[in-house]
Amino acid sequence: MYGPIRLMIISRTPLRASFCGGGTDIDWFSHSKENGGKVVSLAIDKYIHVLVNKRFDDRVRVSYSSLELVDNFEDLKHELVREAMRVTGVTSGVEITTIADVPSRGTGLGSSSTVTVGLLNALHKFAGHDASPHQLAEEACSIEIEVLNQPIGRQDQYAAAFGGVNAISFDSNGVSVDPIPVNCESKIREEFTLVFTGLSRSASEVLKEDPDDPDDKLNRLRKIRNQADIAEEYLNSCKLSELGVLLGDAWKEKRGISAAVSGSEIDSLHDEIMSLGASGAKLLGAGGGGFFLVHGESSLRKRLEKLEGKNRLIPLGMDHKGSTIIFEG
């Protein structure tokens, strides 16, 4: 049942950058190993906004890169919107608009899960309910993994819902989020940069690709899991130079999992970034495109500006709040 209906709700939900551990949050790995999976990630100060507005009739209008207007929400092509409406019970008489600060598909910043968390938060609030970060993350995981059968992990949903810098652990008993106290936020912003490759590819498509060697993939994921412990230690003690080198080690492991993770253009950009003086760089997300997370001394960013125009740069700023409602009326 609905609570008091609002006329308009706007949610703001952060994207994320993961330092180490990506890939170990997928159920087949995290549920089968004694130490489970672990990801160390940071919610960034780039957002997806979701606007939910009451209509004068019972139709549903959804605006994103396409525009849909339907009589029945079941007819929506946007699967995330459709399933979020089903979960929250808000199934008619609304207009829903999503707006992203950066390209919202194939960037390696967890955009699909960010959209799902933001949709759930806005729709729950529209219906008169407050949802906790844990509820939002769990419902988003259920929609993406269990309902839509996406071959993805669980880190993005929790990073978007909780915000901050976290060590997120995964095993057969569930997910735990442990905030990492960071006393060098300004240095993180100065020394870490997101570099856009100019390419994009769906995480689901990359993850569906068969690994070159399944046994080798498993061994690499175990190393990546151990790197997450080291990354947490480095962030706790603000050893950012060491964390930068670790990014490079993480990229070597990830790069070897499957041919779909990289390619000649991505490899060439990585080599160019390193030649400009970076201490380490890794491609975010499943691979195939999106953003590199790059570390170097604060002077590196000026040199990175020499890259071609399509390689847009974003300082690694931090979000502390996670998914929030920024307007209700």
Considering the domain architecture, whether residues 199 and 161 belong to the same structural domain is answered as: no
Note whether 207 and 260 are within 8 A (CB): no
Residue 48 lies inside a defined structural domain of this protein = yes
| Range 93-104 average pLDDT | 93
Structure tokens at 245: 């080198």
Closest to 201 measured CA to CA, from 326, 137, 287, 293 = 287
Considering the domain architecture, whether residues 193 and 270 belong to the same structural domain is answered as: yes
Please give, one letter per residue, the 3-state secondary structure of 244-309: HHHHHHHHHHHHCCCHHHCCHHHHHHHHHHHHCCCCEEEECCCCCCCEEEEECCCCHHHHHCCCCC
Residue 153 lies inside a defined structural domain of this protein = yes
Residue 2 lies inside a defined structural domain of this protein = no
What pLDDT, on a 0 to 100 scale, did the predictor assign at position 1? Answer: 44
Q: What is the three-class DSSP state of 28?
A: helix
| Range 288-307 average pLDDT | 94
Residue 209 lies inside a defined structural domain of this protein = yes
Assess whether pLDDT exceeds 70 at residue 294: yes
Considering the domain architecture, whether residues 124 and 247 belong to the same structural domain is answered as: no
Closest to 114 measured CA to CA, from 151, 163, 59 = 163
Assess whether pLDDT exceeds 60 at residue 207: no
Considering the domain architecture, whether residues 133 and 245 belong to the same structural domain is answered as: no
Assess whether pLDDT exceeds 90 at residue 170: yes
Place 103 in a pLDDT band, splitting at 50, 70 and 90.
confident
Q: What is the number of structural domains in the chain?
A: 2
Starting at the earlier edge strand, list the strands of the sheet with 291-295. Answer: 280-283, 291-295, 192-196, 313-315
CATH no. for residue 274? 3.30.70.890
Considering the domain architecture, whether residues 131 and 218 belong to the same structural domain is answered as: no
CATH no. for residue 125? 3.30.230.10
State which residues form the domain around 279.
185-315
| Range 177-201 average pLDDT | 94
Residue 1 lies inside a defined structural domain of this protein = no
pLDDT digits (tens, 9 = 90+) for 275-287: 999 999 999 997 8
Ranking 187-191, 209-213, 227-231, 248-252 by mean pLDDT, the lowest is 209-213
Considering the domain architecture, whether residues 169 and 238 belong to the same structural domain is answered as: no
Considering the domain architecture, whether residues 301 and 323 belong to the same structural domain is answered as: no
Assess whether pLDDT exceeds 80 at residue 200: no
What pLDDT, on a 0 to 100 scale, did the predictor assign at position 202? Answer: 61
Write the CA distances from 1 to 57, 88, 126, integer angstroms. Answer: 19, 9, 12
Structure tokens at 177: 């989020």
Closest to 160 measured CA to CA, from 207, 86, 205, 109 = 109
Residue 3 lies inside a defined structural domain of this protein = no
Considering the domain architecture, whether residues 162 and 230 belong to the same structural domain is answered as: no
Structure tokens at 209: 């690709």
pTM: 0.94
